Every structure is written in structure tokens, then in C-alpha cells.
Amino acid sequence: MRTAHTFKSAFKSLRANKTRSALTILGIVIGITAIIIVVSVSEGAKGLILSQIKGLGANIIFIEPGREPEGPSDFTQILSDSLKDRELKALNKRNIPDLKDLAPAVMVPAILSRGGETKNTNVLGTSPLYAEMLSIFPEQGVFLSDDDVLSGSNSVVIGYNVKEELFGPSDALGENIKIKNKNFRVIGVFPKKGQVAFFDVDNVAIIPYTTALNYISGSRHYNLIMAEISTDEAVPRAAKDIEITLRNLHSITDPEKDDFHITTQEDIVDRVGTITGVLQTLLGSVAAISLIVGGIGIMNIMLVSVTERTREIGLRKALGARPADILYQFLLEAVMLTIIGGVIGIILGALFSFTVSIVLSKTLNLDWSFVFSTKAAALGIAVSGGIGLIFGIFPARRASKKSPIEALRYE
């Protein structure tokens, strides 16, 4: 049978039952929408996370207390106090030949105040290297110096939001603010930066780690030690050296019992891959289920359609249609139906992902870009067409096998 005419007649019969066709393809639409969202959102998340760590340089190793958290509800890391001055001293060039520099960090929630204004936020105690590692520098004033660290000075560098909330439009440089009722002098103000390496620069107050340990934290342990390695290539070797050094120091023989964990940028990239993989599997199965349900819906409606059009099938056969012609006609109808559903799904999925990207980047100030994957769109078309074929073949075969006189006699 001639393809153009088959298309025309398939289209006509779908249009004749507009409501039914629309309801039938709903499952396919939802399934394909889910596929597009999955791909777009996980690509967006990946892009976001990678852009966060991009500024870091590949030669930074993170050393954190506690064993590696196994999930979001695993608090072992936070509760551990395994990184102290002793460990900081052991991480030297003798033990780790590739080490260039270290930046410890202490993170303490604290109340900042100036006059009547207060702000509840995180105070970070660290060293000058930190700013270089994250490539964040004050817009006004300067960052902490080595002298600040050595002397345990009361200098503070504040984020954009902290400045706005405590000082408003007036100048902050050289002014004093109180952290836990202790006076600190503002020596630098960061520009508006948003998140850098999962770290909210706008809402932070950075002081020397020595000062933080002595006056603010109340304990002697670090939340994080960042190690700068001489070259990117030396990172795996240095990570191994750090591991050995800390295990020796803590007399750990069983790696299972590590009370610290080491993260390289490669690890982060891997972890991102794992997370987006989980996300894709999860939403992917939602898509799969809805596609199967949608496919069964298509099959059901096609069976109804075959029954309704029994006379037409009989007539076509009487006029010379071979079983293959009838099969082709009904199969084409099913595939057209599902592909229309697929196209609608692709449009809806893209719209939804686009909205999400706008909302996230506007409200959360995240660097979330909208990704429309042509691969995903092609996959959507292929999958929806495939569903049409798989679930259309049974009704189409039934149609093609109808005996012409039985079909013509059908009332």
C-alpha cells in the first residue's frame, strides 16, 4: 500500500477520535516527559556541581575527619574530632614530598553583631591559602595574612550579605563587629559571589584559624584540611602519602577503621556521577513504568479500534488488501499515536526543565543552566515509536487476520 495514503488515512482516523487519541497517549506523554526531565535535570546538576569545583584546581586534596559518610543521614563525619594540631604538623613535606601547602578550616556557627544588628551565620577559621585555593578575594580591603594567623589576630573578612545586613550602605572596612561577644576588625569585604565549592561565600565571616580555635570554637579540632599538591599528576600519590601518614599517626591497620577521609577532585566527579546515576535510574524507572502502562493503553485502544473498524477491514480485504497491508495500516496508526505522544512529551519535558533551571538560578542563585539534550529527544522519539510498534503489533495482527466475510458481515 502506498505510504502517503496510509499516513493520510491513519491521521484521519486518529483525528476522528480526538479525545480518545489524546487520552490514550497521556501515558506516553508522561513517560517521555520524565525521560527528558531526567536527562536535562541530571545534566544540569552535573554542570552545577562541576562548575562549583572547577575553580578549585585539580591539585587540591580535602582531608576531613571521620570516615567517609555513606549517606545524607550519616553524621559520623561531623562528630569526629580526629584532625587536630598534631595531624596538621604531621602533614609536612617530609611525609608528603609532593605537598605544597596546607589550609586548615574550622567551621563554627555563631552570632555576629554590630550595635543593634545581629546575624546568625557560619564563622570560618582558616589560613591565607584558603582564598587562593578557592579563588575568592575581597573587593574592598585585604584577606587574612600569615601574620594574622601567627598572632591569632582579631581580623575578619566578611561576605557580601553579612556586610549588607550589619552595615547597610555605610562603609565596613576598619569597623568593629562582635563575634560571640568578642570584637573583630573588618579588614576585607567579599563581592557578591554566591556559592563557591558548595560554600556560601556571601554569608560567611572568615577569621584566622588560630583565633577560631582559641576563642570561638571551644574545641581544638579542624573540620577540614585542604592540601595543595605541587602538580595535578602527583595528586594520587600525595593522597596515598597523606593516608599512610595519618594511619601511622593514629595506629590504624584496618582501612575500614579510618577516622578520616580523603577526597580528591576526581573523587568528587565520581561521586557526582554516582548521584546523577541514581537520579537517572530512579526517574528512569518512573518513565519506564509509565511507558509500559501507556503502551498497554495504546494496545487497549487499538484493539477497540480494530473491533470498531471490522467492516472497514473486511471492505479493504475485499478490495484487495493483503494481510500485510492491514497490519501495516494499524501498526502505523499505533506508531503515529505514540510518536505524537513522544513529541508532546519532549516539548513538555523541555518546558519543565527550562522552568526549573530559571527558578533554581533565580531563587537559589545557583549556576544552573538549562540543558536540552538532542540525544534525549532522539531517544524519546525512538522509545515512543518502539512502544507503538511493540504494543501495536498485537492489535494490528488481529486486524490483519480477520476473515473478509466475517468482517463484512460484522454489525
Partner 1 sequence: MPPLIETRNICKEYRDGQTVTPVLDNISLQIRKGEFVAIMGPSGSGKSTLLHILGFLDAYSSGDYLFEGKETSSYTEEESAKVRNRKIGFVFQAFNLLARASVLDNVKLPLLYSEIDEKEWDERARKSLESVGLSHRINHEPNELSGGEKQRAAIARALVANPEVIFADEPTGNLDSKSGQMVMETLEQVHQKEGRTIILITHETETAEHAERIINIRDGKIEKDEKIATRRLAKTFIK
Q: Is 5 in the site for partner 1 (CB under 8 A)?
A: yes
Shortest distance in whole angstroms from residue 341 CB to partner 1: 22
> Which 312-341 residues touch partner 1, going by CB under 8 A?
312, 314-325
Q: Is 408 in the site for partner 1 (CB under 8 A)?
A: yes
Pattern 59-98, binding to partner 1, x per CB under 8 A?
Answer: ----------------------------------------
Shortest distance in whole angstroms from residue 19 CB to partner 1: 16
Shortest distance in whole angstroms from residue 396 CB to partner 1: 16
Closer to partner 1 at the Cβ: 318 or 364? Answer: 318
Q: Could you say which of 57, 152, 385, 404 contacts partner 1 (CB under 8 A)?
A: 404
Closer to partner 1 at the Cβ: 325 or 367? Answer: 325
Closer to partner 1 at the Cβ: 6 or 365? Answer: 6
Residue 139, C-beta contacts closer than 8 angstroms, at least 6 positions apart: 189, 190, 191
Q: Is 9 in the site for partner 1 (CB under 8 A)?
A: yes
What one-letter code names the amino acid at 175?
A: E
Q: State how far the Cα of 296 lies from the Cα of 391, in Å rounded to an integer.
A: 7
Closer to partner 1 at the Cβ: 16 or 79? Answer: 16
Closer to partner 1 at the Cβ: 3 or 251? Answer: 3
Closer to partner 1 at the Cβ: 58 or 315? Answer: 315
Closer to partner 1 at the Cβ: 11 or 352? Answer: 11
Q: Is 308 in the site for partner 1 (CB under 8 A)?
A: no
Shortest distance in whole angstroms from residue 334 CB to partner 1: 19
> Which 343-362 residues touch partner 1, going by CB under 8 A?
none
Q: Could you say which of 12, 93, 220, 257 contacts partner 1 (CB under 8 A)?
A: 12
Among the residue ranges 9-17, 150-158, 162-170, 242-250, the one whose residues contact partner 1 (CB under 8 A): 9-17
Shortest distance in whole angstroms from residue 316 CB to partner 1: 7
Q: Is 20 in the site for partner 1 (CB under 8 A)?
A: no
Per CB under 8 A, residues contacting partner 1 are 1-2, 5-6, 9, 12-13, 16, 311-312, 314-325, 403-405, 408
